[in-house]
């Protein structure tokens, strides 16, 4: 699995090398090979910065972080890398945010998927499909995540 890393900052932040500093930090910390990096500056009405680490190869996953005033670019990069590494080391095959979107297809066509944890969104979507007469089995396995089955 390889990574692509994209940093986008407002042109007002170009002199601070925000994109380059964040990309350097990701290169130092990410456990996967990086196939592509991109640093883009854009004209905006107010300063801002975002970073995306995306993985491809067998599956696709993305992890992002937003900059904010006073937060160093390196800390933004750390947040994205930490989320990525946590997912790579975790028990789920999809991330916690995608899990809630899979509840309806599981209820309608069946199957199962391991997720890193049960979020409030997953529980709410399970209750919603049950209100329509469909079943999704939720098996919480503690540190090993959870399994959703339809």
What residues are labeled active site? 121
**Residue 18 DSSP one-character state:** H
Query: Which of these, 148, 50, 49, lies nearest to 100 by C-alpha position?
Result: 148
Inter-residue long-range contacts of 122-127, CB under 8 Å, 24+ positions, other chains counted? 122/96, 122/146, 122/148, 124/100, 125/100, 125/101
Query: Three-state SS for 98?
Result: helix
């Amino acid at each position: 699995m390889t990574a692509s890393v994209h940093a986008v900052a407002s042109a007002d932040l170009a002199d601070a090398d925000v994109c380059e500093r964040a990309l350097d930090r990701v290169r130092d910390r990410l456990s996967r090979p990086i196939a592509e990096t991109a640093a883009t500056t854009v004209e905006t009405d107010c300063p801002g910065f975002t970073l995306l680490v995306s993985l491809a190869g067998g599956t696709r996953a993305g992890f992002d972080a937003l900059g904010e005033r006073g937060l160093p670019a390196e800390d933004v990069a750390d947040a994205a890398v930490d989320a990525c590494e946590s997912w790579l080391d975790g028990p789920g095959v999809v991330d916690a945010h995608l899990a809630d979107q899979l509840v309806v297809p599981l209820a309608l066509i069946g199957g199962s998927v391991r997720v890193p944890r049960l979020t409030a969104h997953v529980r709410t979507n399970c209750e919603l499909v049950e209100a329509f007469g469909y079943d999704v089995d939720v098996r919480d396995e503690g540190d090993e995540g959870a399994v959703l089955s339809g």
